[in-house]
Amino acid sequence: MFITSDNESLSGKENVAFSDHTKNYDQLYSDLKLGAFVEAGKTHFRIFAPDAEKVFLCVFDNPSDNSYQSYGMIRLRDYVWEIILNGELYNKFYGFKVQRKHQNEINPDLICLDPYSKAVATEIDYMGRKLSLIVHDNFNWESDTWVQNDWRDLIIYEAHIKDLTAHKSSGAKNPGTYKGMIEKGIKGGLNHIKNLGVNCVELLPAMEFTHLELPYKQELNRRYNTWNPYEKNHWGYMTTSFFAPTAFFTEEGNKAEFKNWIGTAGNQVTSFKEMVKAFHKENIAVIMDVVYNHLSEYEKANLKEINADYYFRKNEDGTFSNQSGCGNDLKTERPMVRKMIRDSILHWMNEYHIDGFRFDLGHLIDWETIEEVTHEARKINPHVVFMGEPWGGGYDPRGFSARDCASWNDQIRNGIKGENPYNGKGWIFENWYGNNNPSRIKSYVRGTLNKDHHGLFNKKEHSVNYLESHDGYTLGDFIRIGLGDVDPHLPVKDLANHYKLTEKQLRLNKLAAAFLLTSQGIVMIHSGQEFARSKVIAASNKMDDPQKGFLDHNSYNKDDETNYINYEHLDINKNLFNYYQGLIRLRKEYSAFRHAHYEDILFQEDPHNHFAFGISIYRNTQEFLVLFNASQTISSKFSLPEGSWEILVTPDNVILSNPKQAEALITLEPVTSYILKRK
């Protein structure tokens, strides 16, 4: 039941006439401030709801209450509905009932989430209710501001907030939370990232998202989950609110059980800000992975109930477009969807000091929206980072570069590591995947620039060079499979020895790392790559999963040790960690590996070994020589140019503090690399 107020019926004079404008959606726009906000002792509520006949605001004292105060809202110009209530209604919960044209009545169970919610309370259920929470936030940022890096200097660590401290080996007192991430004196979280030496962290989705999927092999609301026995969406690519940090990474959210409510105190707002502030104190930038291409499929009441025709792309037969693979692609080209995305980006920059954004399936966002968002964001912070996945309904890294945005460079990933570890292995396996060849490899070293016919980017800093991300096998597992040491179609039997790298596995990991960290462009490392992390599906879990014990290449649904970072494995492969740590220090110390001009990067080849080559890199008065041999069987010899050279990196170690004097002739054994500097 619900309790109504005197405002239950629509009252007041509307300043526009209602008309049927369904064919004119693309002309609808309002510059009015939306959402809930407090001004001059009153609380304002506004929602854009085209085609609505009636809209009611529902205010709850507690989110689990069955009773609430209901207020009829007034339609203003541009189909924005408003109600202003006396008092500062902090710590109140609210939602909207929207009755659209041709609806005889409003479904009493559908109370829509405010699209501009700044904090969200969530009932933990497969299709649980969500309500917006009005938070009074007086966070003290002290002197904090954005970390403004030259994009060419970025070394990004892609990570999941929970995974960095959820495992007991992290030492966190608040594992899997915002607070746990920044605890002092522990092995995991921020301390680990700082120790590695990167200068930027990219967080997997942390906006409010649907954590649970439908019950496995059970029908619910005419939907049937046949693919996910874990019933979880661990990674977070099912956003429900574009302005609110998720409550799942608070202490409350981490411990809550089914049917509990989380996010009710709004602690997620302050905890997220504390986390960003702590990273900034270490001069580490924070980038958010943001999902604007689709909305969670499992919402009871969200944009679909407000107006599905306006907010979503549809096929000719009226079904929802599914180029995202998630069944409900957002129509980002609609003016008010574009405004929502722009307002969301600016909100995270202003309120949370976020330094940059990575657009999931970025090619599904229309170019005009990308252009408007980046233009407005750069007014606030000219150095704000924008990058995207250049696919989703197409593939266009050049389009991102033309708009001064970076994008993931899957070409370097596939060329160096390979596309798959079976019949699509790359250069480190002594193989040319697809159209790769020595000429393309040289293009990658120079930044995959449009200055040669292999190029994709106008600027080197538009190329996000990576070999591993949250998608697909980890680099460590790719190498294990590629070498034939692990059969991905069988469970891993000897876990104790599985995690420890063999000598050959270690060499391939080091060769890949050396190539990645000496190539021009932005560098991205996925969490655990620095110790050849392996994702083995936990055999101890109680789920009906025939893949238990196998390697996982799509762990989006595993909320267990498959995803959690086990720092004991770092200790097992400490040699590789030290190598990554040293290469990162090398890249940061010498600008030649970040700022060298295209023309100042020259190559020498071994005519007897097409998988070996040398790179001379000039920068100001400094000269470096990088030598690679990816052959599995053939050694290569390189004569050094005249002069005195010192070895900074051997196949075994990075020795920046005590470099060795080099001989005139360097012999590279199979699967090795050297980095030298002219004295």
The encoded tokens of residue 397 equal 């890294």
On whether residue 379 sits in a domain, the answer given is no
DSSP output for 19-74: ---GGGGGG----S--EEEEETTEEEEEEE-TTEEEEEEEEESSTT-S--EEEE-E
Cβ-based neighbour number of residue 590 at 10 Å:
20
Cβ-based neighbour number of residue 595 at 10 Å:
16
The pTM for the full model equals 0.95
On whether residue 630 sits in a domain, the answer given is yes
Helices first, then strands: H and E counts in the chain: 17, 31
Residue 118, classified by CB atoms within 10 Å of its CB into exposed (0-12), middle (13-18) or buried (19+), is buried
β-pairing, 130-133 with 120-123? antiparallel
Question: How far does CA 677 lie from the centroid of its chain?
Answer: 36
- 79: confidence class by pLDDT, cuts 50, 70, 90: very high
State the pLDDT at residue 624.
Answer: 98
| CA distance linking residue 164 with residue 45, whole number of Å | 38
On whether residue 606 sits in a domain, the answer given is yes
Cβ-based neighbour number of residue 488 at 10 Å:
16
| CA distance linking residue 553 with residue 536, whole number of Å | 9
18 versus 440: the higher-pLDDT residue is 440
Residue-range definition of the domain harbouring residue 611 = 598-678
β-pairing, 69-72 with 52-60? antiparallel
Q: Provide the 3-class DSSP secondary structure of residue 279.
A: helix
User: pLDDT per residue over 301-351, tens digit each?
Assistant: 899 999 999 999 999 999 999 999 988 999 999 999 999 999 999 999 999
Number of domains in the chain: 2
pLDDT at 121 over 90: yes
State the pLDDT at residue 310.
Answer: 95
Tell me 301's DSSP state: S
State the pLDDT at residue 219.
Answer: 73
User: pLDDT per residue over 96-114, tens digit each?
Assistant: 999 987 766 667 678 999 9
On whether residue 247 sits in a domain, the answer given is no
Angle between helical axes of 367-380 and 335-352 (0-180°, round to 10): 30
On whether residue 315 sits in a domain, the answer given is no
Q: What angle do CA 289, 295, 299 make, to 5 degrees?
A: 125
State the pLDDT at residue 3.
Answer: 38
State the pLDDT at residue 106.
Answer: 65
CATH number of the domain bearing residue 628: 2.60.40.1180
User: pLDDT per residue over 548-584, tens digit each?
Assistant: 999 999 999 998 999 999 999 999 999 999 999 999 9
Backbone angles phi, psi at 235, to 5 degrees: -70, -30
User: pLDDT per residue over 344-389, tens digit each?
Assistant: 999 999 999 999 999 999 999 999 999 999 999 999 999 999 999 9
Mean pLDDT across the chain, nearest whole number? 93
β-pairing, 200-203 with 356-359? unpaired
The encoded tokens of residue 403 equal 């708009």
Q: Provide the 3-class DSSP secondary structure of residue 341.
A: helix
**192: which residues sit within 8 A by CB, 6+ positions away?**
164, 170, 565, 567, 570
Last residue of a domain, one of 112, 141, 168: 112
Residues 26/32/34/37 CA torsion (nearest 10 deg): 180
User: pLDDT per residue over 9-42, tens digit each?
Assistant: 333 334 333 344 445 889 899 999 999 999 999 9
**322: which residues sit within 8 A by CB, 6+ positions away?**
328, 329
Q: Provide the 3-class DSSP secondary structure of residue 609.
A: strand
User: pLDDT per residue over 495-532, tens digit each?
Assistant: 989 999 999 999 999 999 999 999 999 999 999 999 99
State the amino acid at position 358 in one-letter form: R
- Give the residue-averaged pLDDT of 656-665: 92
User: pLDDT per residue over 628-655, tens digit each?
Assistant: 999 999 999 999 999 999 999 999 999 9
User: pLDDT per residue over 441-475, tens digit each?
Assistant: 999 999 999 999 999 999 999 999 999 999 999 99
Last residue of a domain, one of 76, 94, 112: 112
| CA distance linking residue 206 with residue 221, whole number of Å | 27
Last residue of a domain, one of 86, 112, 138: 112
| CA distance linking residue 606 with residue 667, whole number of Å | 12
State the pLDDT at residue 105.
Answer: 63
| CA distance linking residue 162 with residue 559, whole number of Å | 9
- Give the residue-averaged pLDDT of 153-181: 98
On whether residue 637 sits in a domain, the answer given is yes
Q: pLDDT over 70 for what percent of the chain?
A: 95
- 129: confidence class by pLDDT, cuts 50, 70, 90: confident
| CA distance linking residue 519 with residue 162, whole number of Å | 31
On whether residue 319 sits in a domain, the answer given is no
On whether residue 417 sits in a domain, the answer given is no
State the pLDDT at residue 301.
Answer: 83
CATH number of the domain bearing residue 66: 2.60.40.10
Beta bridge partners of 665: 639
β-pairing, 93-100 with 74-75? unpaired
Largest CA distance in the chain: 91
Could you tell me what percentage of the chain is helix, strand and coil, using 3-state DSSP and rounding each to the nearest 5? 30, 25, 50
Asked whether the beta carbons of 671 and 507 are under 8 A apart, the reply is: yes
The residue among 239, 249, 243, 248 whose CA lies nearest residue 352 is 243
Asked whether the beta carbons of 175 and 167 are under 8 A apart, the reply is: yes
